[in-house]
Structure 1
Amino acid sequence: MIKAVLFDLDGTLADTAPDLGAALNRLLVEEGRAAQSMDAIRPVASHGARGLLELGFGITPQDAQFCALRERFLDHYEQGICEGTTLFDGITELIREIDSRGLQWGIITNKPMRFTDPLVQLLPLPIAPQTCVSGDTVGIPKPDAKPMLHAAAELGVDPAHCLYVGDAERDIEAGRKVGMKTVLASYGYISEFDDTASWGADLNINHPLELLVHLGQSEV
């Protein structure tokens, strides 16, 4: 039986692309470059600074200017961290229903605590998460198993009784490593180049509320 539901943050629980994109575009304008459209930003938003800087500047962490641009991007993002960000449609109702069924819920994200903690405080969540694991909470992010195990331990729930919902391949990989049931949030930041069928998720949902029919079942 599922006893806890855990969510990725960006692209699964909250639509953070507007604020991530705004930070990128402010940086691009400062550098005399053209702003990117939201259609271009949204599919790579789950990949954070690395993905967005690659989109905007065509650089990777191996490039000499990457670190300096990354810090400026993060500063811009921190200043407007919840101006355009919203919970995805249905998330509020889903969390309320999870709680009403006596289940626990939490967040496991690769977003650093510097941004996760203030964002979670600002989001209009109906019930606070019982665990919130950031990308630097245990010193290594997903797809490593440690963040998943840490969240399950904080809840006191065996990973086998946890459901993990995410919109990126690393989410599904991390959940599978520890025996969690995995759910692909197809409404999230999925690129046309993502081969989601090969990720091996147990479920695929196109709207958060589709998850409700699977809660309380012995098998997903």
Structure 2
Amino acid sequence: MHPILDGIELVTFDLDGTLVDSVPDLAMAVDAALTDLGLPPPGEARVRDWVGNGSLKLMERALEDALGRVSSDALLTRAHQGFLDHYARDPSAHTRLYGGVREALDALRDWGLPLALVTNKPSAFIAPILEALGLQGHFGLCLGGDSLAQKKPDPAPLRHVAAHFGVLPAACLMVGDSRHDIEAGRAAGFRTLAVPYGYNHGEPVLLSRPDAVVESLWELV
């Protein structure tokens, strides 16, 4: 067991960029939504740097890149709905688990540690992705970016998770790939663990000073 788990009674995970590489599916939906509007699609490489703050912010960044300026609210609303429609058709077609994720989640569950998922992805997409990847039974609670009034980096979702399980924040661990995960965890009073392979807007997640870093979640167990 990794030392970061010493005294931990609840582990909370981010989804995109931490457990799964979902950018191929996200990028296809972004490209399709912009194409519908007669705008140039950005492609997967650009989308990879825009993921992490929810789907509305993702489309805001995509529109700003395509237009070279901030879009109108009306255009953003149309683009966002187009993205949601395209993504909903199959949000897991090309989404894959990172190496070591399944083994780590299986081991933590077998040890009896409660597991939660807190993502900024719209909540409607969580269950289909988890089911497609065979992870639907691993998490006792899943929160999306629209589950509460606040989302990461606000600590409210993590505080909600701790209260739901009746665990003190100091005995909780937040595992993520971005500064938003680390900031939310720190503000909530959680211990924080980062993985360096995900989506962090082109910045090394080490700059956010997590309590620990692992190259693969397999190192947890």
- Report the counterpart of residue 12 of structure 2 in structure 1: 6
CA 1:198–1:69 in structure 2 vs 1: closer, same or farther (change >3 Å)? same
**1:57-101 alpha-carbon deviations (Å, 9 max, x no partner):** 345576541111111111111112111112211111001111222
Question: Contact conserved, 1:96 with 1:127, CA < 8 A, in 2?
Answer: no
Alpha-carbon contact 2:54-2:122 (below 8 Å) kept:
no
Match of 1:54 in 2: 61
Query: Match of 1:176, SS?
Result: helix
Q: Deviations over 1:148-187 (max 9, x none)?
A: 0111122222111111111121111111012111111211
Give the deviation of 1:38 after TM superposition: 2.3
1:37 is matched with 43
1:196 to 205, 208, 214: 205
Q: 1: CA distance between counterparts of 2:215 and 2:73?
A: 37
The gaps in structure 2 that reach 5 residues or longer are: 1-6
Amino acid at match of 2:172: C
**1:116 aligned to which of 94, 118, 126:** 126
**1:15 Cα deviation from its structure 2 partner:** 1.3
- Name 2:192's counterpart in structure 1: 182
CA pair 99-8 structure 1, distance change in 2 beyond 3 A: same
Residue of structure 2 equivalent to 1:215? none
Q: 1:26 aligns with which of 5, 23, 32?
A: 32
Aligned-partner Cα distance in 1 for 2:148–2:80: 22
Is residue 2:109 matched to residue 1:99? yes
Range moving further from structure 2, 47-56 or 12-21: 47-56
Alignment of 1:157 onto 2:167:
yes
Does the 8 Å CA contact 1:145/1:178 hold for their aligned counterparts? yes
1:82 aligns with 2:82: no
Q: CA deviation at 1:143?
A: 1.6
Secondary structure of the corresponding residue to residue 186 of structure 1: coil
- Structure 2 letter corresponding to 1:206: E
Rounded to whole Å, the distance in 2 between the matches of 1:179 and 1:102 is 22
The number of residues matched between the two structures is: 211
Instruction: Kindly indicate whether residue 171 of structure 2 is the aligned counterpart of residue 171 of structure 1.
Output: no
Instruction: Please give the alpha-carbon distance, in whole angstroms, between the structure 2 residues aligned to 1:114 and 1:57.
Output: 27
Alpha-carbon distance in structure 2 between the residues aligned to 1:61 and 1:4: 41
What RMSD in Å do the two structures reach over aligned CA positions?
A: 2.1
Name stretches of at least 5 consecutive residues in structure 1 with no aligned partner. 213-220
Equivalents in 2 of 1:180, 1:60: separation in Å?
A: 36
Deviates more, 1:69-78 or 1:118-127: 118-127
Residue aligned with 2:160, SS: helix
CA distance in 1, matches of 2:76, 2:39: 16
Q: Determine helix, strand or coil for the equivalent of 1:46.
A: coil
TM-score by length of structure 1 reads 0.85
